[in-house]
A and B are shown apart, each in its own frame.
Chain A
Amino acid sequence: MGDASAWIAQKDEGEEHGLYLKGVWRLPNAQAISDALRGLSLRSGGRFVVDGAGVEALDTAAGFLLVKRLADIGCTPATVSARGFEPRHKRLLALVYERMATPPSGARSEHLGLVQGVGSATIRLARLLRSHNAFVGAVALESLALVRRPRLFRLRETVAQFEAVCIDAIPIVALVNFLIGVVLAYVLGAQAQRYGANIFVADGIALAMCRELAPILASVLVAGRSGAAFTAQIGTMKVEEEIDAISTLGLSPIQVLVIPRLVALMVALPLLVFVGDVAGVAGGMVVGAWQLDIAPQVFLDRVHGILEIRHFVIGLAKAPVFAAFIAIIACRMGLLVARDARSVGENTTSTVVQCIVWVIVLDAVFAVAFQHLGM
């Protein structure tokens, strides 16, 4: 294959440079043909005669390589003549010459360096946060409009969303919280047993689950389940131009899509947190009865004694705030989807990450604030 004479032979005939092509000039041989053409010692100037009598087959890829090589040394149709080609090969070469006049750049997608990458990611993040802000404002305005005209509220859609985000999530939320209750009881129990302070496990479980863990766990699960679903649903609607259809029907996408999801999630999450509270305490109770010699009756009495209502309320009160963040971020990311398949996946991933980070940041803010308020 490395032998150039297999494809092309050069014979100078007086003033003219003769190029005799032969063999199968097709894409599978493009590498060899390219090498053969590059190996020719062609000088610009003078007339060229290309003889195609020996060509068995010719396609546009090989034709392009030939025409480009000749064009690169400054040949024009006036200085090159073709002979011996089959008519269809001649037509093909004519088309190749005509079309290659403006070669588009075949540049690959840009790869940013580290500094550029960090910089552009920071700018994107800042823009995203600012646009989230504007979106929160838009949702607030639309909500006010709803308060003034409650007839416009979409109860049916809200109830359907509530079923998907709350009822369907109960088993998984209960299971995860129960297991965390079990794990926590083991860890606390192992320490408490050394001091004969087994009963304090009930204190730890009840406080930790109700105040912190159940809200966080329920929120993280809801962010992964419903947040991702919201973004994917709304994003796919965006790709299919359904959002535009909603707008042109004189409806507000925020009222039709965002507010029902927001309301459903804000109602659902406190309920899920309550389910988590019960499941977590139950998990601790099972381990208490089984490993730590605390009878369920005693465990519950203890929980009843130490768990002041404020701890329980604080846990529940955080939930609607988390829910609002999750719903707003998820819907916003759905509406930001561009018109391609990859964008739906990217935005869904981004939703889950943003939601989980925000839930934890907010929880830390709450912890500090409540501490200072003496709660």
Chain B
Amino acid sequence: MDRVLSVDSVVTRFGSQVVHDGVSFAVGRGEVVALIGGSGSGKSVLLKEMIGLVRPTGGRIELLGCDVWRSGVRELNALRRRFGVLFQDGALFSSLTVAENVAVPFRENTSLPMDIISPLVGFKLALVGLPPEAGTKSPAQLSGGMRKRVALARALALEPEVLFLDEPTSGLDPVGAREFDRLVRVLADSLGLTMFIVTHDVDMLLSVADRAIALSAGKVIADGPVSVVRGADDPWLRDYFAARA
């Protein structure tokens, strides 16, 4: 299997607090993987380490054949064009309109003229299911669900091979969250994207992910197809899946 992401015995310490104590796993191309774990289990930190924002204390992270923490700035920036990130609250630029937000990656990283970028931006917004009038709005005027969609359109702008999603359904109502799940699944299937999702949401895990990795007390406690992880004999995992009733 073509390996897209590998995390090899990653250790993270903040002062005396150990966040990760030897975390290892690998993700193949086209997989949709969900990382689950309780609050404070270091999921978001691990995500930031994978995308080159927080340096792990030890271990090795390889993304798309590039060692994230041993590459130079130039390599890292080239790598950054090949993956997209959906941040928890969207992280849209508040001084730009929705359409300008989605246009930023095109304008900064390609030399395409505006008469190609504009229709592409419009298409990206339609791709994530936004209505036509959304383009001229400012992010402050949007609902939480629409902000996430705009952020997804921006993350998809440069046709990434890997998409990282940090708590994509947090703050959405159940109906909006399920719609978002469907959108993510459709994109994964149709575009052949590799997706790495950090989530609390059991429904999202069950409806979107092929595989689940559970993190607890700084270690991977379960890794496998969702059905297998669901049946795993671990008190935290049992409570986690039971919470859904």
Q: With A68-B119, A103-B119, A103-B122 known to touch, is A61 a contact of B189 (CB < 8 Å)?
A: no
Which one of B111, B135, B139, B187 has the highest number of Cβ atoms from chain A below 10 Å of its Cβ? B135
The answer to whether the Cβ of A107 comes within 8 Å of any Cβ in the partner chain is yes
In the complex, are the beta carbons of A27 and B110 less than 8 A apart?
yes
Contact of A102 among B110, B124, B126 (CB under 8 A): B126
Chain A residue nearest in CB terms to B161: A59
Q: From residue A26, how far is it (CB to closest CB) to chain B in Å?
A: 6
**B100 touches A (CB below 8 Å):** yes
Can you spell out 20 A-B residue pairs with CB atoms less than 8 angstroms apart? A27-B110, A30-B110, A31-B111, A31-B116, A34-B116, A60-B123, A60-B191, A91-B189, A95-B127, A95-B190, A99-B126, A100-B126, A103-B119, A103-B122, A104-B125, A105-B136, A106-B119, A106-B121, A340-B94, A340-B95
Residue on B nearest A28 in the bound complex, by CB: B110
| Contact yes or no, A103 B140, CB < 8 A | no
A88: B residues at CB distance < 8 A: 190, 192
Q: Which A residue's beta carbon lies closest to that of B131? A: A104
Other-chain contact of B190, A91, A104, A339 (Cβ < 8 Å) = A91
Nearest CB in chain B to that of A339: its residue: B140
Given contacts A31-B111, A91-B189, A106-B99, is CB(A341)–CB(B94) below 8 Å? yes
Chain A contacts with B in 71-94, Cβ cutoff 8 A: 88, 91-92, 94
B213 within 8 A of A: no
Is A27 within 8 A of B126, CB to CB?
no
Q: Which residues of A contact B7 (CB under 8 A)?
A: none
User: In the complex, which residues of chain A have a beta carbon less than 8 angstroms from the beta carbon of B44?
Assistant: none
Indicate if the CB atoms of A340 and B159 lie closer than 8 Å. Answer: no
Q: How far is the CB of B59 from chain A (nearest CB, A)?
A: 32
A 23-37 contacts with B by CB, 8 A: 26-28, 30-31, 34
Partner of B94, one of A28, A92, A342: A342
Q: Bound state CA distance, A102 and B127, in angstroms?
A: 10
Size of interface on B: residues with Cβ below 8 Å to A: 42
Contact with A along B135-154 (1 / 0, CB 8 A): 11011100000000000000
Structural contact, B190 and A94, CB atoms closer than 8 A: yes
Is residue B9 within 8 Å, beta carbon to beta carbon, of the partner chain?
A: no
Residue from the set B112, B139, B156 with the largest chain A CB neighbour count within 10 Å: B112
Q: How far is the CA of A109 from the CA of B100 in the complex (A)?
A: 8
Q: Which residue in chain A gives the minimum CB-CB distance to B153?
A: A104
CB distance from B242 to the nearest CB of A (A): 33
Q: Which residues 70-121 of B have a CB within 8 angstroms of A?
A: 94-97, 99-100, 103, 110-113, 116, 118-121
Enumerate chain A residues within 8 angstroms of B100, measured Cβ to Cβ.
108-109
A34 vs B114: C-alpha distance when bound (angstroms): 13
Q: Is A338 in the interface zone, CB < 8 Å from B?
A: yes
Residues in A with CB closer than 8 Å to B133 are: 104-105
Contact B123 A100 (CB under 8 A): yes
A34–B117 alpha-carbon span in the complex (Å): 11
A107–B136 CB distance below 8 A: yes
> B132 to A102, Cβ gap below 8 A?
yes
B221 at interface by CB-CB < 8 Å: no
B123 touches A103 (CB 8 A): yes
Which residue of the partner chain, among A61, A107, A340, contacts B138 with CB atoms under 8 Å? A340
Contact: B97 with A102, CB < 8 Å?
no
Expressed in whole angstroms, the minimum distance between the Cβ of B127 and any Cβ of chain A is 5
In the complex formed, the residue of A with least CB distance to B129 is A99
Contact with A along B187-201 (1 / 0, CB 8 A): 101111000000000
B130 lies within 8 A of chain A by Cβ: yes
* Alpha-carbon distance between A99 and B130 when the two chains are bound, in angstroms: 10
Do A104 and B127 touch across chains, with their CB atoms under 8 A apart? Answer: no
Report chain A residues within 8 Å CB of B124.
Answer: 60
The yes or no answer to B158 lying at the interface (CB within 8 A) is yes
Judging by beta carbons under 8 Å apart, are A95 and B95 in contact?
Answer: no
Q: Does A153 contact B (CB under 8 A)?
A: no
> Given the complex of chains A and B, what is the CA–CA distance between A341 and B122 in angstroms?
25
Q: Does A135 contact B (CB under 8 A)?
A: no
A339–B143 Cα distance when bound, in Å, is 12
| Closest chain A residue to B126, Cβ basis | A99
Q: Is A64 an interface residue (CB 8 A)?
A: yes
